[in-house]
Every structure is written in C-alpha cells, then in structure tokens.
Amino acid sequence: MPLNKYPSVKISAGSGITLIELCIALAVIALISAISWPVLRASLSASEIETACKKLSSTILYARDMALSENRRYKIEFDPENKSYRMLCETENAASRFEFERIAGYDASNMRWDKKISVKAISASSIIFEPDGSADNFNIVFESRQAGKYSLTYDNLKGRCEIKRI
C-alpha cells in the first residue's frame, strides 16, 4: 500500500514553512492585535455601560407595571456611592403613606452596575410609582472612562425609558 493516498499531490522533502516565515506570521498577528486592542476594549466598556442602562430600564418598567397591576406604590432607591439600587413596595397595612418594604422573593443581587461605571448626574434619589403607574420624570447619567457618557431617561407621559449616548 502506498504511503501517499493522493498520488496527484506530490510531497517533497522541502515542503512546509520555515522558522522565519512562522516568526513573520506571528509578528503580523501581534501587530494586528496591538492595534485593535484599544478599540476592542472601548467597545467592551460601552457594552458594560449599555448593559447597566438596560438593567436599570428593565427594573424601572417592572416597578411601573407592578404598581399598576397590584394597585400599590413601588419605589426604586438609588445608592450611587455603592453603585447599586433597590426596588421596594408599599406595605400592605401602611398606616401612613410611603412606608415601603423589601419585596419577598425578588432577587436584588443583580441591581448593581460595574465598578468602572460612575454616576455623573441623577435627577432624584428615588422614583416612586403611584398605583396608577405615574411617577416623576427621571434622568441618570452614567460615565465610563473608556466608553463615555450614557443617559437613561424615564418619561412619565410615554411610560418608557430612553437610553442614549451623550
């Protein structure tokens, strides 16, 4: 049985790549990686800040929906120093207005944003959704050194959040 299964392909002793060709190929790959790394890093940072905005937007809209469906107030409190926020609901047997408690079974562990993201501006320390779903307009501006500034705005008239890069 012949060693070469494909007789039309000739294998010679000098075929293959040399060490110099291999070094040149690795140098080209290293150069391309070095050039593209800052761009890749900035896009990863932008992705992190967009994710933080989308998570917060989702929580805001969830609190609004819960206020409407359960006919009670929901509140989102912000803690920019600890880079976190939490959602609370009005107590069932509230003797006075605006007594809130933690929501049983609601996972608050994901209510944080990355440590590389800072809050540059915030319009209020909390948002309170009334049983009819209304709340004051709200704005928060996140900033990352690599990704720049992103604004999240809640518009009460539309009942929507808008995220944009500024």
- At 36, which CATH number? 3.55.40.10
Is residue 86 in a domain? yes
- Beta-carbon contacts of 85 under 8 Å, excluding residues fewer than 6 positions away, are 56, 59, 76, 77, 78, 79, 111
- Nearest C-alpha neighbor of 148 from the set 45, 25, 37: 45
Query: Which structural domain, as residue segments, surrounds residue 148?
Result: 19-165
pLDDT of residue 24 exceeding 80: yes
- How many domains, the chain? 1
Which of the pair, 10 or 130, is modelled with greater confidence? 130
Asked whether residue 120 is domain-assigned, the answer is yes
For the chain, give the mean pLDDT. 86
Decide if 78 contacts 122 (C-beta within 8 A).
yes
100 within domain boundaries: yes
**Mean pLDDT on 9-21:** 74
Say yes or no to pLDDT of 2 above 70.
no
Each residue's pLDDT tens digit, 132-158: 999 999 999 999 888 889 999 999 999
